[in-house]
Copies of this chain bind each other. A is one copy, B any other.
Amino acid sequence: MEYKVLTDQDIQFFQNLIGKENVLLLDLEKYSADATENLEFYPDVVLKPNSVEEISKIVAFCNENLLPITPRGAGTGLAGGALPIKGGVVLSVENLNQIIQIDEKNFQVIVEAGVINYVLQEALSEKNLFFPPDPSSWQSSLIGGNISTNAGGPKAVKYGVTSNYVLNLEVVLPNGEIIWTGANTLKNSTGLNLTQLFVGSEGTLGIITKAVLKVIPKPEKDISILVPFYDLEEACEAVSAIFHAGVNPSALEFLEQRAIDAATEFLFADANSSFEKNSEIQAHLLIALDEKIEIDLQKLVEVVSKFHIGEILFAENETEKARIWLIRRRVAEIVKINGYTIEEDTVVPRANLGKLVKKIHQMADENDFKVVCYGHAGDGNLHIRINHPEFKNSYNVPEIQLILAQLFQIVKNLGGTISGEHGIGLIQKPFLPIVFSKANLELQKTIKKTIDPRNIMNPGKIY
């Protein structure tokens, strides 16, 4: 379908509707990129509406006039989902930033899509409540974006990902109609699960404007533990063993040593990050416990001691925990600066993690690129960062796409899939036929087409 080119009359319409100050035509750099590789696509206009009613009218107008809309949160995505590859309208939900209600009695909150994850966390913390999904981008990423990508984060291993906390959504459909998808209840067997159809749909089916989220009581105490491993694969094997011992970690992260070293050097002048520095250490597991801590700690030490490990570090004070987690939180951006520009978000059944790490390192050796891995090992979710001497992007680079196709075939053979928490967006789209059958993909496309027949919502993504 041929999209219309934005006209002065269109701009006039938008200005009348949401006010001139919310219609941006110049200095759109900020809206031309996200956290994905080194990609840049400029929209024709950025709209920052202030209400669901305004969004409804914008969407209805764009639908009628065949103007493509790219919905945008904070632009922290890692798959290019927020990039306006067809130009047209970027619709930012940043002005919808109200926490509407914290219902302490029912452990629920109602938020607008533009609330920053961190802001919600802080507001909840004051009331001893807790919203577990906290991707590394939590200090800037918006709840609407978290929902659209089904974001995870370190605590997903115990508490689940974003989808597990979304009870009900207000959504503007591609025809401009506003719906609530479900009910504000913990259980729901009433009709099709539209709520979960929109979670993770990356703005391709409509625009999420409000969410009713489940929250839980804030854990009273937590402790972080660092276990250095002399062998990469053993670190992965230990992950499975920890669960089999009955330990219930609130985080179980894997970090390759070269990622830790890069982050330590970047962040700490004294190079002291609490992680063990030893050229023979290949990886660390970073484990958190927040319930039955004594019992689980004992089991944990027993299990990991069977492997070839360095000295275990127990971090109980806030300063030390903060230092350790800063490394984990910022590792992606730091290794990216160091040339590891291409990030993958593979996920496999947990016990197959060791095989995956081994294979990707073999591939790197054979194909003369560098690789560094880290991620949410407890979920089997491994982030693989690639530093290729010649290519810094995967998008539209056949050499890299060949490597990735090979990688995803391995992941598929291990029972896994392409993305655990980042989404498909733009850059992973070519690889879907590796993990989905033709009939499955056809069904996804048919659903998209049915809901958005004129393909105005985030065109060129996923499908």
Contacts and interface: CB of A to CB of B under 8 A. Distances in A.
Given A164-B164, A196-B197, A440-B181, A189 B423 contact: yes
Contacts of A107: 243, 350
Contacts of A416: 183-185
Contact of A105 (B182, B240, B376, B437): B240
Interface string A423-461: 110001000100111011101101110110000000000
A192 B447 contact: yes
Contacts of A381: 185-187
A354 to B, nearest CB: 11
Interface stretch (A82-90, A172-180, A362-370): A172-180
A405 interface: no
A419 B189 contact: yes
Given A446-B451, A450-B447, A191 B436 contact: yes
Nearest to A449: B450
A163 interface: yes
Contacts of A380: 185-187
Interface residues of A, number: 85
A347 interface: yes
A253 to B, nearest CB: 14
Interface string A346-359: 01111110000000
A421 interface: yes
A190 B161 CA distance: 14
Nearest to A351: B105
- Which of the listed residues A348, A440, A462 has the most CB atoms from chain B within 10 Å of its own CB? A440
A9 to B, nearest CB: 28
Interface stretch (A148-156, A254-262, A311-319): A148-156
A185 B443 contact: no
Contacts of A197: 192-193, 196-197, 447
A19 interface: no
Given A196-B197, A415-B184, A416-B184, A443 B179 contact: yes
Given A108-B349, A150-B189, A189-B420, A443 B194 contact: yes
B106 A419 contact: no
Contacts of A178: 439
A147 to B, nearest CB: 11
A36 B426 CA distance: 48
Nearest to A105: B351
A350 to B, nearest CB: 6
Given A194-B440, A443-B194, A450-B447, A217 B189 contact: no
A412 B179 CA distance: 15
Contacts of A156: 186-187
A392 B85 CA distance: 60
Nearest to A184: B415
B437 A188 contact: no
Contact of A291 (B150, B240, B243, B292): B292
A173 B441 CA distance: 13
A103 interface: yes
Interface centre among A151, A180, A187, A196 (most CB of B within 10 A): A187
A348 B177 CA distance: 26
A345 to B, nearest CB: 7
Contacts of A180: 437, 440
Which 9 A-B pairs rank lowest in CB-CB distance, beginning with the nearest?
Answer: A183-B417, A196-B196, A105-B351, A187-B420, A106-B349, A184-B415, A177-B439, A179-B440, A450-B450
Given A185-B417, A190-B417, 11 more contacts: A104-B244, A107-B243, A173-B443, A183-B415, A185-B347, A186-B379, A189-B200, A189-B423, A191-B424, A292-B292, A446-B451
Interface of A: 103-108, 149-152, 156-157, 160-161, 163-164, 173, 177-194, 196-197, 199-201, 217, 220, 240, 243-244, 246, 291-292, 345, 347-352, 376, 379-381, 415-424, 428, 432, 435-437, 439-441, 443-444, 446-448, 450-451, 462
